[in-house]
Amino acid sequence: MATLRELREERLRKLQELRSQGVALYPAKARRSHLAGDVLQQFDALEGSEATVTGRLMSTRKFGKIAFFVLRDASNQLQLFIKHDVLTGSDPSKAEISFEQLNLLDPGDFIEATGTVIKTQTGEISIEVTKLRLLTKTLRPLPTDHDGFTNKEERMRRRYVDINVNKDVYQRYLRRSAFWDATREFLKQEDFIEIATPVLENIPGGADAKPFTTHMDALDHDFYLRISHELPLKRLLGGGYEKVFDIGPRFRNENYSDEHLPEHNAMEWYWAYANWENGMQLTQKLVRYVADAAWGKRVFALANGQAIDLGDDDADWKRISFVEIIKEKYDLDVHTASLDEVKTVLKTHNLEVEKQDNRARGIDKLWKKIRVELAGPVFLVDVPTFMQPLAKTQAEDERLSEQFNLILGGTEACKAYSELNDPLDQLERFKEQQVMREQGDDEAQMLDIDFVEMLEYGMPPACGFGYSERLFWLLEGVSAREGVPFPQLRHEISETTKAIYPEIKF
């Protein structure tokens, strides 16, 4: 079996032969009158007429004076029927290929074919080619299905190959696009305004996460890559906007997992004069709308073996109390438990205890052990105030925040709450977070005095909500790195590539 390097050298030979025959390689302009899918779907109307299609050459078969090619574009695959007495003449200066030059083409090349729409004797819809142009000569062959392009690391490093070879992966990123399109469409229908917020921030906030740091030469000043959209969007509420959202990347300097990527896309919306109860109702509508648009269904079999049903429009999702479920599972009162008591329960349940763990972090670990068993959809409520520095407290019990988390498939699919808009209360909570940072918790939130100043000018009562593409990964049934086209990986150059380019110092 030929090696990749040998196959590349053979394609280079063909390229040089085409060049020596005067064929204009890699032309800048292509022409297309129809997609392959259009020809197939509209055959009755198009039969006998001329069509020009473009795409990647997937297979070639040549039998003496006839040949059968398969061309693929984004819409479908289509057969090209080529006869030596129909494909007559060629203009190499226009990248046109003669019948005698067909052997210099390879699967993977990009071509343009013009001809008559017909059905062959076997009944297959085809284009009988009168003119064939070479648009791109490829030097590396795509692996075929039987090559077993299944190594996860290799697939992620060369996702452009993975997308070509694995149809399910190709379709996955179309659904990912539909997921975000539907999110944006729903919010605009609900009169939310999309306003882009900065990625570079002086002080990151809005989540418990370790930020990335970068430096801006123009200001000779360090900035953080945002970990959340929250605080800038709430500043916009303070500026007078009443329904705002942003969709874009955020960055959290944490480890990879099936649920986490250091870089990922997320959406957050903020709604003035609404509270968490309004937020829960809107969340049900939003998630169902997106599921309908991206997958066309509401019942999902998840990768972890769980199944979820998002239900009918008039059915509210169940609620569970954070305080009660921790008490039920661990016999622990989150309001009164000391750090030592929390550590004891962690050890009892074989959960890691780290030096920088505080009471909030420890209780959160206990909750996450419970969470993985919940298929949902359920709303988690009664999250203690000391675990949520940006949410309002419940009027009936100030120890509890007006926060809800949507639990789906054992994970947190979204988080939302009635926003804290008391500047003095917010300052005290920031101070508590600052103490946690000083004690070694580098995920605790930083004290953002400018945000406190904004609250002093006044921000209306509001509900805020956020979800990341973790919701997409969950419903798609894939891990985080499979859910994005290009996950971050260590930079590596293959030995084959090093050998092909010996003049380059890698």
Q: Which tens digits make up the pLDDT trace of 370-389?
A: 888 899 899 999 999 888 77
Which helix H or strand E contains 362, and what residues bound it? helix 359-371
146 pLDDT higher than 60: no
114 CB neighbour count, 10 Å cutoff: 19
Q: How many domains does the chain have?
A: 2
Are 275 and 420 contained in the same domain? yes
In-domain check, residue 205: yes
In-domain check, residue 144: no
Are 465 and 387 contained in the same domain? yes
Cα–Cα distance measured from residue 236 to residue 432, given in angstroms and rounded to the nearest whole number: 25
**Which residues is 63 bridged to in the sheet?**
66
- Beta strands 243-251 and 411-418 are unpaired
pTM for the model: 0.89
Are 282 and 392 contained in the same domain? yes
Range of lowest pLDDT (139-148, 209-218, 264-273): 139-148
Q: Are 192 and 233 in contact (CB under 8 A)?
A: no
Are 8 and 116 contained in the same domain? yes
In-domain check, residue 322: no
435 pLDDT higher than 90: no
Are 132 and 168 contained in the same domain? no
Calculated CA dihedral for residues 199, 201, 205, 210, nearest 10 degrees:
80
Residue in this structure with the two tokens 């209306």, named with its chain if needed:
460
For 415, the domain range is 164-317+376-483
Are 131 and 170 contained in the same domain? no
205 CB neighbour count, 10 Å cutoff: 24
Are 275 and 170 contained in the same domain? yes
Alpha-helical segments (H) within 243-350: 276-294, 322-330, 339-348
CATH number of 107's domain: 2.40.50.140
CATH number of 411's domain: 3.30.930.10
Which helix H or strand E contains 424, and what residues bound it? helix 423-438
pLDDT of residue 208: 78
**Which of 180, 400, 156 has the alpha carbon at shortest distance from 286?**
180
Q: Is 396 exposed, middle or buried (0-12, 13-18, 19+ CB in 10 A)?
A: exposed
In-domain check, residue 243: yes
Are 168 and 130 contained in the same domain? no
Q: Which tens digits make up the pLDDT trace of 442-467?
A: 777 788 899 999 999 999 999 999 99
Are 210 and 302 contained in the same domain? yes
Are 67 and 210 contained in the same domain? no
In-domain check, residue 258: yes
356 pLDDT higher than 70: no
Are 203 and 99 contained in the same domain? no
Q: Which tens digits make up the pLDDT trace of 61-111?
A: 999 999 999 999 999 999 999 999 999 878 999 999 999 999 999 999 999
CA-based angle 102:74:483, to the nearest 5? Answer: 125
